Amino acid sequence: MKTKNNKAGCNGGKPYYKGIYFDSYEEREFFWWLEEASHAGLVKGFRYHPESFNIFERASVPVRKELKTKCKVVERFLLHPHEYTPDFIFTVRERFRILDHGLTAMDNLTYYIDVKGGFSIYNNEREFSINQKAMYHFYGVFVNKVIPRDFFQRTYCPAMAATTKTGQPRKHYKDMPNIRRVLLKNTVACPAIDFVDPESITEPPDLFSEQSGIDVDFSF
């Protein structure tokens, strides 16, 4: 049975939320984090799986091929092209600095994120390290690695990640701060995001769409 678009769930083996199939539960949790940050006026806009960056072109070499009546030069394939797609790109407002986020943006405005779940037997860490270096070298972009459990501990845990479907607290997110506590601590006016029905949270604007020139104000 399919999960409705306005509910969090899992469909086809992939986590599902608001019409999006995520590659991992950690990516969906970071999406929830960005939703709350947007509605609190910390984040201006964000996008999941934005455009891909071309890292290396397809490689081939010319070789001579002898035919019955002539000789011609053909291209012999060597290597496939390589692209990299960040998990998230988001832009921030000035008040984002109240968070102890530990992230890096080359322009102090736009952050590129690769979400990881911690330990992996598939050696994804090595692949990410290569992509991270290539992105910085070719595009001048620094891609931040985010492990939600560690990142939420430093900033805040989104309400939808803090509890299970039955409303029970998740053990690995227990006692983490919520966004309301963080904003109140920094004397920033904030809505009671952690007490509202998660289904009532609307989709934040995508500043990387065709209408990217529109600055939608999330201030309260």
User: How many angstroms separate the first and last alpha carbons of the chain?
Assistant: 38
Amino acid at 54: N
What is the tens place of the pLDDT at every residue in 76-118? 889 999 999 999 999 999 999 999 999 999 999 999 999 998 6
* 80 within 8 A of 58, measured Cβ to Cβ: yes
CA distance 194 to 162: 10
Whether 177 and 211 have beta carbons less than 8 Å apart is answered as no
Q: What is the pLDDT of residues 114-154, one digit of tens each?
A: 999 865 545 578 899 999 999 999 999 999 999 999 999 99
pTM of the model as a whole? 0.75
Q: Where are the domains of the chain?
A: 8-50+85-200, 56-81
Poorest-pLDDT segment among 28-32, 46-50, 67-71, 130-134: 67-71
Segment 156-204, tens digit of pLDDT: 999 999 988 888 888 888 889 999 989 988 865 555 444 445 455 455 5
- Integer-rounded Cα radius of gyration of the chain: 22
pLDDT at 120: 53
Assess whether pLDDT exceeds 60 at residue 13.
yes
Percent of the chain with pLDDT over 70: 76
208 pLDDT above the threshold of 70: no
Q: What is the pLDDT of residue 11?
A: 55
Q: What is the pLDDT of residue 9?
A: 59
Place of tokens 């065709």: 210
- Residue 206: CB atoms within 10 A of its CB come to 15
Neighbours of 47 (CB within 10 A): 19
